[in-house]
A and B are shown apart, each in its own frame.
Chain A
Amino acid sequence: MKHTLSVLVENKPGVLTRVAGLFARRGFNIQSLAVGESEDPNLSRMTIVIDGAEHPIDQVTKQLHKLINVVKIRDLEPQYTVASELMLIKVAAEGEKRNDVLQIAEIFKAKIVDVDRRALVLRVVGATDKLEALLELLQPIGVLEVVRTGIVAIGRGRG
């Protein structure tokens, strides 16, 4: 099972390296990692997705906790979590292909953020499976470049 960890860390140089280094050293495979400043400028929040079947999630969180700069860890429960990811896709869109791309973009509520004679850049935000579905549809048309932020997630409600 996939686990989404929300990890509050001190906003200091080298902290990302410590976290990434720990994962590498213990052989934990990161599926996705996103990091940015939190509501408190002294703290950053990381969203880390890992495969719990591969590694006992308990070991992962305990080892993370041992890092002095890690302040708090939450293992987000899927049903109480809002998760989202942003993806930019550059698609070859010449001639009649262009219309196909625009239609697909419309369905997925993807925004066209750059237009050029030969290519379009789409921006889409949403759950990972939505992003994957869009990619799959665009693939035969000609995907030139993809860039994703990784998942960011937050617990529902006030908790």
Chain B
Amino acid sequence: MHAADGYARATGKVGVCLATSGPGATNLITGIANAYLDSIPIVAITGQVRADLIGTDAFQEADVTGITLPIVKHSYLVQSAAEIPRVIHEAFHIASTGRPGPVVIDVPVTALLGELTYKAPDSLHLAGYKPTVKGHVKQIRAAAQAILEAERPVLYVGGGVISAGASDELHALADLIQAPVTTTLMGLGAFDERLPLSLGMLGMHGTVPANYAVHECDVLIGIGVRFDDRVTGKLSAFAPQARTIIHIDVDPAEIGKNVEPSIPIVGDARHVLAALLAELQKAELVPGRTAPWLAKIAAWQGEFRLHYEQPAAEGVVAPQFVIQEIERVTGGEAVIVTDVGQHQMWSTLYFDYRFPRQWISSGGLGTMGFGLPAAIGAKLGRPDKTVIDVSGDGGFQMTMQELATAVNYDIPVVVCILNNGYLGMVRQWQDLFWNKRYSQTCIAVQPDFVMLAEAFGAKGMRVSSPEHVGEALREAIDSGRPTVIDFKISPEENVFPMVPAGQSITELIGGKASRKTRGAKS
């Protein structure tokens, strides 16, 4: 399931996965929920018992459409073979249009074994499904006007820009109006982070300049975002100076769900941004209007640089350094897939993402175990790219059996385990907020990942000193084989900056090089 998801994220195409009835189907649940929360187009086809046995607790029967009801965009329980063509066409259409999402098709074995003469349906009749594509013209004009009057605009960009393929339009817009851009976790890659207008990610583990900019902006332009709690922190303190909040989203239900925008625009991000650009190009932009604002941001960027210290101890490397080395060795062109935890956050912060679909990570559900299978799917979708999976020692152990798949089908992904011997992200919270009571987070008893990789027929490597990081990566990539590199990292390194949950995004800790603020909230 995660492989289909990784494939979909890497390519923009619909990912497909199959599972057998009962336990096979229930094993997809986490993956379906994961795709649902991140709006990833998936068609999951599950086997079902004979149609006449449904409802009798037959062998390997599970009510799949029932179990998945709250986590699908739509689902089907097929009755007979004759329905299959229509259902498949509808499922792909629904999964991939509007706000994308997973669609489940549950097919009884009687339908699978049935016969029919295939004829593609001429048209789809979905009376209740007509996603809005084009934005409302008046609203777009109002947005353009607000942008023209803005002195401190910020573009707040999410996964919707990537799924709509609106990255070019976003770059053009930011450039035209000279507004800084911050992305959510799901939006990474939508805007080239090497550009001066890039603020990086915002929110709980966002950069200080990004969070400050949102805090002080007068016009906030949200595009394909959902004002998630990991982004906003305390809602009442979010973007308090914004006179105008523009919210562009393809899903009308996202508008006003968490934050009431002054200018809502329902539509596909690419269409809306193109229309907005056209509108702004007609108008007269005052040159240099945002210059003082950009200067202020530049000052923050100078003051609050990302920082970390090389570990004093022998035999470990700084996790941030590993990420930087991945960027250097791959020329910043690799597709980066991650698992969930501290390593994921270091991956957001210490790598400059350049193009859409370069960054593949489980956002909304935060699913540990996502990384390796998603990387396999991503590599299948983008065989031309180096695909690196940055994983934790915890999350890797949740789906490491997929190494067999990678070896079996010769899918050369490079797994970089940032091995701290802890469920690091949870340990960090126990450290900062619960007086270092490390409860159930030490996982130092673990398999030897090098031997484990070799047992699967993959390549295994271990790195415990900084000078070997780059060469190990090079060797792994050049080997053309599925590889696991076990990077021993400083066990108690924390991710900074951090905004504690539920606080204003300016209440951040660890923003400056002197880390005296740490532990303030314990």
B257 touches A68 (CB 8 A): no
CB-based contact B253/A65 at 8 Å: yes
Tell whether A59 pairs with B77 under 8 Å between CB atoms, given A10-B128, A18-B69, A21-B70. no
* Least distance between A65 CB and chain B CB atoms (Å): 7
How distant is the Cα of A25 from the Cα of B72 in the complex, in angstroms? 13
Chain A residues with CB under 8 Å of B94's CB are 68
Partner of A59, one of B127, B128, B129, B256: B256
Q: How far is the CA of A113 from the CA of B73 in the complex (A)?
A: 46
Chain A residues 1-27 with CB under 8 Å of chain B are 9-10, 13-14, 17-18, 21-22, 25
Report how far A53 CA is from B446 CA in the complex, Å: 53
- Does the CB pair A71–B127 fall under 8 Å? yes
Are the C-beta atoms of A10 and B253 separated by less than 8 Å?
no
Contact B253 A59 (CB under 8 A): yes
Instruction: Using known A-B contacts A14-B65, A14-B77, A25-B70, determine if residue A68 contacts B126 with beta carbons closer than 8 Å.
Output: yes
Residue of A nearest to B252 (CB): A62
**Closest approach, in angstroms, between the C-beta of B396 and any C-beta of chain A?**
32
For residue A29, CB closer than 8 A to chain B, the reply is: no
Tell yes or no: B171 within 8 A of A by CB. Answer: no
User: In the complex, what distance in Å separates the CA atom of A70 from the CA atom of B94?
Assistant: 14
A158 within 8 A of B: no
What is the interface residue range for chain A against chain B? Answer: 20 to 34
Question: What is the bound-complex CA distance between A56 and B73, given in angstroms?
Answer: 22
Instruction: Mark interface residues in B230-253 (1 if CB within 8 Å of A CB, else 0).
Output: 000000000000000000000111
- Determine if A114 is an interface residue (Cβ-Cβ < 8 Å): no
Alpha-carbon distance between A122 and B460 when the two chains are bound, in angstroms: 79
Interface size on B, residues (CB 8 A): 18
**Mask of B482-512 contacts with A, CB within 8 angstroms, 1/0:** 0000000000000000000000000000000
Question: B74 at the A/B interface (Cβ < 8 Å)?
Answer: yes
A63 to B128, CA, bound (A): 13
Shortest CB-to-CB span from B373 to chain A, Å, is 27
> Chain B residues near A10 (CB, 8 Å)?
127-128
- Kindly provide the distance from the CB of B51 to the nearest chain A CB, expressed in whole angstroms: 13
Closest Cβ–Cβ distance, residue A31 to chain B (whole Å) = 22
Whether A68 lies near B74 (C-beta < 8 A) is yes
Residues of B within 8 A of A69 (CB): 128
**A-facing mask of B67-100, CB < 8 A → 1, else 0?**
0011001100100000000000000001000000
Among B118-138, those with CB < 8 Å from A are 126-129
CB proximity of B37 to chain A, nearest CB, Å = 13
B66 within 8 A of A: yes
Q: List chain A residues, Cβ under 8 A from B255.
A: 62
Q: In whole angstroms, what is the CA distance A22 to B72 when docked?
A: 11
Which residues does chain B contribute within 8 Å of A17, judged by CB atoms? 66, 69
Asked whether A56 and B128 contact (CB < 8 A) given A14-B65, A21-B70, the answer is no
Of the candidates A58, A63, A68, the one whose C-beta lies within 8 Å of that of B129 is: A68
- A62–B252 Cα distance when bound, in Å, is 6
A127 in the interface (beta carbon within 8 A): no
Closest to B128 in A: A71
CB closest residue in chain A, given B74: A68
Query: Is B127 a contact of A62 with CB atoms below 8 Å?
Result: no
Flag if A58 contacts B128 (CB, 8 Å).
Answer: no
Whether, in the assembled complex, A66 has its beta carbon less than 8 Å from a beta carbon of chain B, the answer is yes
Chain A residues in 8 Å Cβ range of B66: 17
**Other-chain residue from B69, B77, B129, B251 in contact with A21 (beta carbon distance below 8 A):** B69
Across-interface contacts of B127 in A (CB, < 8 A): 10, 71
| Chain A residues, Cβ within 8 Å of B65 | 14
Q: Is A67 an interface residue (CB 8 A)?
A: yes
- Closest Cβ of chain A to B130, distance in Å, is 10
Distance between Cα atoms of A63 and B255 in the complex (Å): 11
For B435-449 the 0/1 string (1 means CB < 8 A from A) is: 000000000000000
Are B128 and A67 in contact (CB-based, < 8 A)? yes
A66:B251 contact, CB within 8 angstroms: yes
**CB <8 Å contact, A66 and B253:** yes
Interface residues of A in 63-93 (CB under 8 A from B): 63, 65-72
Instruction: State A83–B128 Cα separation when bound (angstroms).
Output: 25
A59 touches B257 (CB 8 A): yes
Least distance between B20 CB and chain A CB atoms (Å): 22
Per-residue contact bits, chain B 42-80, to A (CB 8 Å; 1 contact, 0 not): 000000000000000000000001100110011001000
Roughly how many angstroms separate A62 CA and B66 CA in the complex, as a whole number? 22
B: residues with CB less than 8 A from A are 65-66, 69-70, 73-74, 77, 94, 126-129, 251-253, 255-257
Interface CB pairs A-B, < 8 A, 7: A10-B127, A14-B65, A18-B69, A59-B253, A65-B252, A66-B251, A68-B74
5 closest cross-chain pairs (CB), A and B: A62-B253, A71-B128, A68-B74, A25-B70, A71-B127
Contacts A58-B256, A66-B253 supplied; 12 other A-B pairs, CB < 8 Å: A9-B128, A10-B127, A14-B65, A17-B66, A17-B69, A56-B256, A62-B253, A67-B128, A68-B128, A68-B129, A69-B128, A70-B128
